[in-house]
């Protein structure tokens, strides 16, 4: 185990149990992605470029649109 991970776990051990569970879920989610680094597809890179262009133009989602997007994940 790396020194950095050892230090991080030492800090996490002092957190409340619920917060420790959140940290554990994040690590498990990373594990499910696999060990190989993700290589973005051309479509993914194009979507990122478009999102950056929208941000440059000041085009952002409304609060209602953001809430609608989050609601899909709560189901």
**28-40: per-residue pLDDT in tens?**
999 998 889 889 9
- Which of 36, 5, 47, 2 is closest to 23 using CA atoms? 5
Show me where the domains of the chain are located.
1-36, 39-75
What pLDDT, on a 0 to 100 scale, did the predictor assign at position 28?
Answer: 95
Distance separating alpha carbons of residues 75 and 57, to the nearest angstrom: 32
- Which of 48, 49, 52, 72 is closest to 60 using CA atoms? 52
What pLDDT, on a 0 to 100 scale, did the predictor assign at position 74?
Answer: 86
Q: In the predicted model, what is the mean pLDDT of the chain?
A: 94
Residues of the chain with pLDDT under 70: 75
- What's the predicted TM-score (pTM) here? 0.50
What pLDDT, on a 0 to 100 scale, did the predictor assign at position 24?
Answer: 96
């Amino acid at each position: 185990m790396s020194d950095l991970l050892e230090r991080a776990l030492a800090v996490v051990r002092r957190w409340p149990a619920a917060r420790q569970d959140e940290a554990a879920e994040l690590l498990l989610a990373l594990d499910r992605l696999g060990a190989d680094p993700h290589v973005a597809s051309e479509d993914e890179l194009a979507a990122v470029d478009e999102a950056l262009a929208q941000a440059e133009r000041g085009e952002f989602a409304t609060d209602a649109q953001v809430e609608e997007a989050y609601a899909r994940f709560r189901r």
